[in-house]
């Protein structure tokens, strides 16, 4: 089984771009902080680089495993998931 590593990394990067926009001050940053009971000083104390690095690694791993599962199960999984999602 061959995995397109470029596609896996591209999907992980796309996830980070969308997530970065979603939690940015342009959209829902303040609402997210209020919902989690955080403030700006608490966010600055966290190791953001380490957190982002680990999150990127987990996202890449998940994308890779999902691709492997989909290829293993073949078209049946794709058709079944589309039916369950209500797609044509």
Q: Domain range holding 68?
A: 5-85
Q: Are 12 and 63 in contact (CB under 8 A)?
A: yes
Total domains, the chain: 1
Low-confidence ranges of the chain (pLDDT < 70): 1, 3, 48, 74-88
pLDDT at residue number 57? 85
Summarize pLDDT for 59-78 with one digit per residue, the tens.
888 877 877 777 777 666 56
What pLDDT score does 88 carry?
42
């Amino acid at each position: 089984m061959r995995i397109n590593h470029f596609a896996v990394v591209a999907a992980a990067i796309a996830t980070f771009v969308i997530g970065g926009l979603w939690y940015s001050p342009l959209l829902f940053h303040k609402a997210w902080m209020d919902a989690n009971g955080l403030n700006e000083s608490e966010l600055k104390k966290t190791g953001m680089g380490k957190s982002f690095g680990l999150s990127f690694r987990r996202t890449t791993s998940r994308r890779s495993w999902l691709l492997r599962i989909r290829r293993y199960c073949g078209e049946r999984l794709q058709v079944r998931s589309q039916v369950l999602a209500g797609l044509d």
